[in-house]
Structure 1
Amino acid sequence: MDTVTEPEPLFDLEPATAAGPDFAELARLPLRELMAPDWADALAGVEAELRSVLSFVAGEEAAGRRVLPPASNVLRAFRQPLNGVRVLIVGQDPYPTPGHAVGLAFSVDAGTRPIPRSLANIYRELESDLGLPPRIHGDLGAWADQGVLLLNRVLSVREGGAGSHRGKGWETITTAAVAAVAGRRTADGKAAPLVAVLWGKDAESVRPLLGSTPVLASAHPSPLSASRGFFGSRPFSRANTLLEQQGADPVDWELPAVPARQLPPRSLG
């Protein structure tokens, strides 16, 4: 049987600080150079909107405003195949602190110290739920590698300006992404195994897109709200139970003590 080789992505996933294409270049590139092929197919219907929001972000950059995460990671959530997604975790927008945002909701660069307080609370609940020790790093890439889609509703932010890129077009893209994840079907026409984990009101806004997908909803892990229903919600063990009930393998939520070496993105050319 002939093997079809997909084109390699333009850049690897890591690290957030490496040089790579800028946002103006991203806005001109074919979708299949920006994300996994099945994601490119799924998001083709909002390609014009994606190019528009990337052009907006390019304008921010051209005006001397620092945008986070860098262009090389802004679409990182779509680099793992859509077909492999088992768990959807929805965040708000990227961390506005330089060096923190890496293109995956709640995750930070492996060298970031201290880790953000929301992520520290996620680790606290992970230990309470599954007995897994917290890590000193905040790299959640190992979850993404297993089909956990860590998707922010808004995929970029101005440095120091939390929420500064809301209402600029990203919501259209991520709405299409959530609908694509929830709309997948197996060969026999059944819904593909999926569990949605919704923390906080922003995440809850996608619930109408999820159809019959099992949903685990609670307060956001932020220090402002974690004590109002996030702690004790046991999302990790409950997600695995729901996956197994759908005939899917559970997620190994234990993160490596030391993240895998991060490789710089390949350059354009």
Structure 2
Amino acid sequence: MRFLIIIPAHNEEENLPFTLDSLQQQSFKDFKTVIVNDGSTDKTQEVIRKYTGQDSRFETVDLQKSSHQPGSKVVHAFKNGLKTRNINEFDIICKFDADIILPENYLETIQNAFKNNPEYGLVGGLLYVEKQGAWVYEGNSNRHHVRGPVKAYRKECFIQMGGIRETLGWDNMDSILLENLNWKEIVLPELQVKLIKVKGADYTIRPADYYGRYFYFLGLNRFLAYIAASKEAAKSQSVSFFFSIIKVYEACKTEKLELKISKDEQKAINAQRWKTLRKKWLKI
């Protein structure tokens, strides 16, 4: 099976060499990597040139800097990288971040998982961050969800779900859409991926804005959005946080901002969220 790996990179001169070195050290060698230089102002371009100059498996695309918003920016860069290749020449489509270190058997293990399990649509490892000199599980999401920095899709699944969407919440949206198409999302816990920096640290969006917009662009109806907002408010132990999230969500609805999902996909997302809610909270 052949891998197409797309890596969006913005000002990653310090982290990117670790990522690309870990790819060169993979036990599985049949891959093509497109590094998308998204308007970097540091030496990211020089780092990329070093690898493209010595290894034909690495290519690059240069973009002008796009506005730094969670979700849409990175998917915009990913899509520009994807355009440079014919995905029909590949079996596995990967979206990796520019600040991860993969174990040497990462691609080989991913390939075997897809090869031996035709129902697998999305596969990835677990993210670990460095704390006090030790690498520990990041814990930002449940252990059954493949996080944004390490997505590997079966090509057929990727095409059927319409690729990933240029919107906030894309890395949860894909899980719901592929499940609705009867594909499985699988996390392989033995694959421990080192995440060099904490995601989201350079976003300027306020938490209430983030969640309000996230729930809207995920396509949640008002009832489910309010339930989701109450959960976030409970975590923060702040009633005002609930109303701040809802204010942003309702503003998005009033403005009728464009969703990157169809009506049928929106129904599927709401049905899946309602199913999860009943199972977890109502025990139905």
TM-score over 0.5 (shorter chain)? no
Instruction: Looking at secondary structure, tell me which structure has more helix per residue.
Output: 2
Which one has a bigger Cα radius of gyration? 2
After TM superposition, the score normalised by the length of structure 2 is: 0.29
Instruction: Looking at secondary structure, tell me which structure has more strand per residue.
Output: 2
After TM superposition, the score normalised by the length of structure 1 is: 0.30
Q: Which has the higher contact order (CA 8 A, sep 6+)?
A: 1
